[in-house]
């Protein structure tokens, strides 16, 4: 028997309306800027008892400070410190970013954390060494870690890293195959023009049926991150319930 969990990457509607239809959400806000801890406490208190929060790890862990995504970071990083952020580096700055991400997630009782590496994070010896050191240095405590590599990574390297570090490989199944993991974790971003993601997109019924056919594990997550995420998540949920 397969379990399929469907949701959105962030709240596309009011939280009350969202909670009425879905049992899980991937929190994207934590990637750009961690909210205050009191926000996590409020979300936890307002959500249904068994609601499942999944946390996208702060960009200070995964993305270098020259990434365009840092434009949405509210805290200032001194020029002299920028080189110490991102790329899973074994620095105090990255370690502190993970500590704060985990602190936020613990309030929400989150058990799943998503780490998305940027296109610039290529399979160099330095980057591979960094990601190995990072995941071997942080306690698991029953948590599940998802890795979504962007850019070109040879399949054999992805499989080896996921196997050695106990990671779940995350993909968009319309673009590439999930290579490793005891669960499936799919993120539906929209359409593609080369390497460019076109988030302004709505999946067709045919595409949703095709995505459903790729859910081959006992536990599967599908989160929509496109402009029509709310409608597509509802449509996909109805397909599962048929």
Along the 242 residues of the chain, how does pLDDT read in single tens digits? 789 999 999 999 999 999 999 999 999 999 999 999 999 999 999 999 999 999 999 999 999 999 999 999 998 999 999 999 999 999 999 999 999 999 999 999 999 999 999 999 999 999 999 999 999 999 999 999 999 999 889 999 999 999 999 999 999 998 899 999 999 999 999 998 877 888 999 999 999 999 999 999 999 999 999 999 999 999 999 999 87
DSSP 48-105: -TT-EEEEEPPHHHHS-TTSGGGGG--S---GGGGGGSSTT-SSHHHHHHHHHHHHHH
Give the pLDDT confidence score for residue 196 in this predicted structure: 81
Q: How far apart are CA 180 and CA 184, in angstroms?
A: 8
Q: What is the pLDDT of residue 21?
A: 96
Residue 206 sits in a domain whose CATH number is 3.20.20.410
Going by C-alpha positions, the residue among 71, 69, 91 that lies closest to residue 81 is: 91
> Which candidate, 20, 21, 22, 16, places its Cα nearest to that of 42?
16
What does DSSP assign to residue 47? Answer: S
Overall domain count for the chain:
1
Range of the domain at 222: 3-241
Q: How many Cα atoms sit within 13 Å of 140 on the Cβ side?
A: 10
């Amino acid at each position: 028997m397969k379990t399929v969990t469907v949701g959105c990457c962030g709240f596309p509607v009011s939280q009350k309306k969202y909670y009425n239809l879905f049992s899980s959400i991937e929190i994207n806000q934590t990637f750009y800027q961690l909210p205050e801890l009191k926000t996590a406490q409020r979300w936890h208190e307002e959500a249904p008892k068994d609601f499942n929060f999944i946390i996208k790890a702060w960009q200070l862990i995964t993305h270098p400070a020259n990434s365009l995504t840092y434009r949405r970071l509210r805290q200032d990083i001194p020029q002299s410190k920028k080189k110490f952020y991102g790329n899973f580096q074994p620095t105090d700055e990255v370690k502190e970013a993970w500590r704060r991400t985990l602190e936020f997630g613990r309030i929400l009782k989150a058990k799943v954390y998503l780490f998305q590496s940027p296109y610039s994070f290529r399979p160099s010896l330095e980057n591979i060494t960094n990601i190995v050191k990072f995941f071997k240095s942080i306690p698991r405590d029953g948590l599940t870690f998802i890795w979504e590599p962007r850019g070109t990574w040879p399949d054999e390297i992805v499989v080896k890293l996921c196997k050695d570090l106990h990671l779940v490989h995350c993909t968009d199944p319309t673009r590439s195959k999930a290579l490793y993991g005891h669960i499936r974790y799919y993120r539906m971003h929209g359409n593609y023009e080369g390497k460019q993601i076109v988030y302004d997109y709505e999946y067709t019924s045919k595409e949703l049926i095709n995505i459903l056919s790729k859910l081959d594990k006992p536990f599967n997550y599908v989160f929509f991150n496109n402009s029509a995420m709310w409608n597509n998540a509802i449509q996909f949920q109805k397909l599962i319930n048929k």
